[in-house]
Amino acid sequence: MSLINTVTVETAGSSYPIRIGNGLRRELLVQLEELEAKGSKLVTLIDEGAQTAIPSVFEDSLSRFPSLIIPSGEKSKSLERYGRVLDFLASANLDRGGVVLAIGGGVVGDLGGFAAATYMRGIRFIQIPTTIVSMVDSSIGGKTGINIAAGKNLVGSFHQPIAVYIDIDFLHTLPEREFISGLAEIIKHGMLADRKLFDLLAETPIENSRDDRLGDIIKWNCEIKAAVVKADEKELAGSGGRALLNLGHTFGHAIENVAGYGEYLHGEAIGIGLVAASHLSQRLGFIESADVGLAISAIEGLRLPTHLRNPLRIDDLYQAMTRDKKVKAGVIRFVVMKSIGQAATIESADAELVREIWRTVGAID
């Protein structure tokens, strides 16, 4: 059993712990018992895949709480599913002292967090991430939301959890494709904020959930994310700030939207998006072509895609980018690397240059 570590997320209005280690179930149950002792009613939202993979957690530890199973996959981040969650919270007679436990990947965390943010104008919730993506990214920092036809995460709210429990044992239950997908957010953090992390992953890639470095690497990523959130909780900085965490995402979200949610796992689309962002950084004169090669090699080393599986039309991808939530005053904001390990935001890029970048990853006219 590994040492249990804590990373504290500090924001203007709250502070909460991220607990990281193996076998955190007992510690979680102690907090839940304390909440119940104070009169709080608890409910669980559980990813269907997580419930199937780790049934003992839900049968033995959480079975006394009303629960709602959420189908796995990005399509669950929908208006329809959001409505069902709200109806579930109401049917469970949750009041303003209630607490939602969001158990699963980023989909359940985003959906459950948004429901908690809006039900009775805001109730508490706890994140229990079971995937790499949710452990190092989506469970931290309070971004919650759902997708609509026009684009990903266009409806949402900032709503911080009261705690995050990252039990590394959950990673052993992930299908290989899901595990690999999550590594995109880890390499992203290295590319935008920490060259040492990037070099570690490039030189000795993570191969599976049994890698004994995972606990330390997850903690490292949580520290990066927590520092960015503390400095710019609601992504209001004029430049840089929390927006830097979107490296590769303007491209990646467009891929998810145009291909159809679920065709690419989030991390798979972001892997390709990181390649596109690297090419853009080079074309704008920030990094050398050799750096692009290093980035592509590192992404490939983690077995993430670097090229579209099937061609998508550039016009469709570009239109999806214009609907991205990062667009301001009609201008698409991009995150670029000034060097590997240091990122910056730019307010626009020439449309034809963006089209050329899409061609480098397999899009067609």
pLDDT confidence tier of residue 329, bands split at 50, 70 and 90? low
Alpha carbon distance 97, 92 (integer Å): 13
Q: Is the pLDDT of residue 157 over 80?
A: yes
Q: Is the pLDDT of residue 173 over 90?
A: no
Alpha carbon distance 81, 87 (integer Å): 10
pLDDT for the residue numbered 92: 97
| Averaged pLDDT, 256-267 | 93
pLDDT confidence tier of residue 2, bands split at 50, 70 and 90? low
pLDDT confidence tier of residue 317, bands split at 50, 70 and 90? very high
Helix or strand run (H / E) with residue 116: helix 106-118
| Averaged pLDDT, 171-197 | 95
% of the chain at pLDDT higher than 90:
83
Q: Is the pLDDT of residue 203 over 50?
A: yes
Helix or strand run (H / E) with residue 219: helix 214-231
In the chain, the amino acid numbered 121 is R
| Averaged pLDDT, 11-37 | 93
pLDDT for the residue numbered 1: 43
| Averaged pLDDT, 225-233 | 94
- 284-to-83, 227, 351 alpha-carbon distances in Å: 44, 28, 13
Alpha carbon distance 48, 349 (integer Å): 41
- 205-218, pLDDT tens digit by residue? 999 999 999 999 99
Average pLDDT score, the chain: 93
Alpha carbon distance 211, 118 (integer Å): 39
Q: Is the pLDDT of residue 268 over 80?
A: yes
pTM reported for the whole predicted model: 0.91
Dump the DSSP string for 8-66: EEE-SS-EEEEEEES--HHHHHHHHHHHHHTT--EEEEEEHHHHHH-HHIIIIISTTS-
Place of tokens 């490939």: 300
Higher-pLDDT residue of 344 and 349 is: 344
Q: Is the pLDDT of residue 139 over 70?
A: yes
Catalytic residues: 121, 143, 185, 225, 235, 242, 246, 249, 253, 266
Instruction: Write down the domain spans for the chain.
Output: 5-173, 176-360
Alpha carbon distance 322, 192 (integer Å): 23
- Cβ atoms within 10 Å of 308's Cβ, excluding its own: 19
The fourth-level CATH superfamily of domain 176-360 is: Dehydroquinate synthase-like - alpha domain (1.20.1090.10)
Domain covering 5-173, topology: Rossmann fold (3.40.50)
